Structure 1
Amino acid sequence: MNVERLERVRRDDTLVRGSSYLDVIETHPDWLGAPFVEEAEYLRDTNEQAWRWEYLGEITGTGGAVFDNVREARLSDSRIRTFQRIRNGVDWGWFPDPWRFVRCAWEPDARRLLVFEEHSANKMMPADTGKIVVDSLTFPDEAGGEAYFHDQMVWCDDTPDSKVQMNVWRRELGLRVHAARKARMRRLSYEWLAGLREIVIDSERCPLTFSEFTLKEFEKDKEGNWIDEIPDGNDHSIDAVRYAMLDDVLRG
């Protein structure tokens, strides 16, 4: 249901509205009855997270979240223009795995990562995905100003076929694209991201990224107990962010 809700929020033909017992206990307490309200308020006092999940329908996780430092926030254009340390990452894909491009800002003093832009595609050639990146990096420095191309570094997945795609980007589009030094860095980069003070994601600008970071959980064993393994899958934005931040991971 959490996955369904996050997917529905992204659709233009669907209105997602939240409601809970709090909407009616003042005006129509008889609809639910005193025992229901008493039980809900008791859980609220004893275990607020469980109360938020069970009675408010919030996505609080099941206790096995990899990233419990994710915070949802709206990032305005004016605030994005103030970001100083921009990081760009790409996870190559074709189909069914998508190609994903993510932009984020790094605030080392606050140990805060802010994800403010994403692009995703399937079955798209390198020249076309490169054009998406060029358009993304073409913007004005101030409101009402003239847009121009910003020559920012783009870090990407280092796979055998990515070398061909990177060459197209460099030769035909003039993009500064480099392979991330990801060898044996998956677990370390996950732990580094999970150890940040907060990962701020604009869920309107980056719904796919917000969904992946929010729903990523550790694996369970046959008895249903959490184990210290992070499963692959549904992690294209996470990988793009990891590649964008690997130099900072290695330095930090």
Structure 2
Amino acid sequence: MSKHPTPDTPSEWLGGPFLEEAEYLRETNEKAWRWEYLGEITGTGGAIFDNVREERLSLERIRGFERRRNGIDWGWFPDPWRLVRCGWEPAARRLVVFEEHSANKMMPADTGRIVVDALTYADADGEEPYFHDEILWCDDTPDAKVQMGVYRREQGLRARPARKSHMRRLSYEWLAGLREIVIDPERCPLTFAEFTLKEHMRDRDGNWIDEIPDGNDHSIDAVRYAMMEDVLRG
């Protein structure tokens, strides 16, 4: 069955699941709905991520994530160290970014303490905070191996290298292909800015080209590392 039914296609031919999925996408990302189900060309200029949605996230919503993903992009100066934490909702193809931390000129022992603090939280109101032993997916560089070693030895953190080899473009396309990327701009202003401002490159005549520029992408990279195992699983 074509995914672009004509306006006069009887609804009983499409089926309940098809209509429910189409209606959900129309409500959450109308441009994607118009492209996917109506076949309209809905380009948005040079934006790479036109599936970003701004939302203020409650603590209750954050505590409810069953699948948490944590990514780290290493940096010193001027490039920053960046930790981004996300909630992954695969059934809805939704990624929710709810926490970020950034630092310059900090040694691994110091950034490790930031991570420990971020992973130390209560599961409900009135309960005592405790350390949650969540995996940290990290940028895999020669320097990163040393820093991950410090995390493991000194803080007992499960820091693992993300399998990012030759995966930059694929991981960008995977993120851009999600139904939505929800970001709380108050909790994660750096991440929100990067995702909403990231654009394709232009040629010398000012035309958009199918290339992704490097730079101003520390949170994006941290999110890519956090989700790389999911990207590889398809």
TM-score range, shorter-chain basis? Answer: 0.7 to 0.9
Give the structure 1 partner of residue 211 of structure 2. Answer: 229
Within-5 A mapping of 1:161-172: 161-172=143-154
By how many angstroms is 1:63 displaced?
A: 1.1
By how many angstroms is 1:184 displaced?
A: 0.2
Give the structure 2 partner of residue 130 of structure 1. Answer: 112
Superposed CA RMSD: 1.2
Deviation digits for residues 13-66 of structure 1, max 9, x if unmatched?
xxxxxxxxxxxxxxxxxxxxxxxxxxxxxxxxxxxx9xxxxxxxxxxx971000
| Structure 2: gaps (5+ residues) | 1-30, 32-42
Residue 238 (str. 1) matches residue 229 (str. 2)? no
Deviation digits for residues 114-156 of structure 1, max 9, x if unmatched?
0000000000000000000000000011012100000000000
Residue 191 (str. 1) matches residue 173 (str. 2)? yes
Following the alignment from structure 2 to structure 1, what is the Cα–Cα distance between the partners of residues 224 and 186?
21
Give the structure 1 partner of residue 63 of structure 2. Answer: 81
> Any runs of at least 4 consecutive aligned residues in structure 1 with deviations exceeding 2 A, and if so which?
none
Following the alignment from structure 1 to structure 2, what is the Cα–Cα distance between the partners of residues 62 and 216?
12
Whether the 8 Å contact between 2:48 and 2:176 is mirrored in structure 1 is yes
Following the alignment from structure 1 to structure 2, what is the Cα–Cα distance between the partners of residues 158 and 63?
33
- Helix, strand or coil: the match of 1:219? coil
Following the alignment from structure 2 to structure 1, what is the Cα–Cα distance between the partners of residues 166 and 201?
19
What is the number of equivalent residue pairs in this alignment?
193
Deviation digits for residues 80-121 of structure 1, max 9, x if unmatched?
010000000000000000000000010000000000000000
Deviation digits for residues 139-175 of structure 1, max 9, x if unmatched?
0110121000000000000011011100000001000
Following the alignment from structure 2 to structure 1, what is the Cα–Cα distance between the partners of residues 125 and 191?
26
Following the alignment from structure 1 to structure 2, what is the Cα–Cα distance between the partners of residues 210 and 216?
10
Following the alignment from structure 2 to structure 1, what is the Cα–Cα distance between the partners of residues 147 and 125?
33
Residue 213 (str. 1) matches residue 231 (str. 2)? no
Give the structure 2 partner of residue 157 of structure 1. Answer: 139
Following the alignment from structure 2 to structure 1, what is the Cα–Cα distance between the partners of residues 93 and 106?
35
Identity of aligned residues (%): 78
Give the structure 2 partner of residue 204 of structure 1. Answer: 186
Give 1:166's aligned amino acid: M
Following the alignment from structure 2 to structure 1, what is the Cα–Cα distance between the partners of residues 176 and 96?
13
- Helix, strand or coil: the match of 1:161? helix
In the alignment, which of 143, 148, 159 is matched to residue 177 of structure 1? 159
Give 2:212's aligned amino acid: I
- Helix, strand or coil: the match of 1:84? coil
TM-score by length of 2: 0.81
Give 1:126's aligned amino acid: P
Whether the 8 Å contact between 2:44 and 2:50 is mirrored in structure 1 is no
Give the structure 2 partner of residue 13 of structure 1. Answer: none
Following the alignment from structure 1 to structure 2, what is the Cα–Cα distance between the partners of residues 79 and 128?
29
Within-5 A mapping of 1:85-100: 85-100=67-82
